Amino acid sequence: MSEIRLLIDEDAMDHRLVGALRARGVDVTTAGELGTTGFSDEEQLIIANQQQRVFYTFNVGDFCQLHSLYMAEKITHSGIIISSQDYSIGEQMRRILKLMATKSAQDMGNQLVFLSAYLGE
């Protein structure tokens, strides 16, 4: 069972969140670090899949649609986590860690997960 590796979308990439996750041993990269800011949502999801990373975003509308399209066309992806912009950096980190404690990278395959389902502790 392998651990979730994250790719954080440009709308969600906050250096404080990335630093906090890395300090806790999470393998995380961002669209900025990869030089993919400005790429389309589908291009970002393809890159995440190629790197076997779960995609983390605030963009609920576009990624719910993209996930539905992928499922209808039987296209696989490594998983999508959608978070609320209303969560503090600490709350996002706690919820991500809670999700990672309960799901493996394999569990996340082809899944769209809302971070609201994971209460930080």
**Is-contact 82 114, C-beta < 8 A?**
yes
Measured N-to-C along each axis, helices 41-50 and 60-72 cross at an angle, to the nearest 10 degrees, of 60
Domain borders along the chain are 6-117
Mean pLDDT value of segment 96-121: 93
Whole-number Cα distances in Å, 20 to 44, 74, 77: 23, 35, 26
Phi and psi at 45, nearest 5°, equal -65, -35
Q: Confidence class of residue 1 from pLDDT cuts 50, 70 and 90?
A: low
Per-residue model confidence (pLDDT) at position 39: 96
Tell me the whole-structure pTM to 2 decimals. 0.95
3-state SS of the chain: helix, strand, coil percent to 5?
45, 15, 40
Q: Confidence class of residue 115 from pLDDT cuts 50, 70 and 90?
A: very high
Q: In what order do the strands lie in the sheet with 6-8?
A: 28-30, 6-8, 54-57, 80-82, 112-114
Residues 23-64: tens digit of each pLDDT: 999 999 999 999 999 999 999 999 999 999 999 999 999 999
Residues 77-91: tens digit of each pLDDT: 999 999 999 999 999
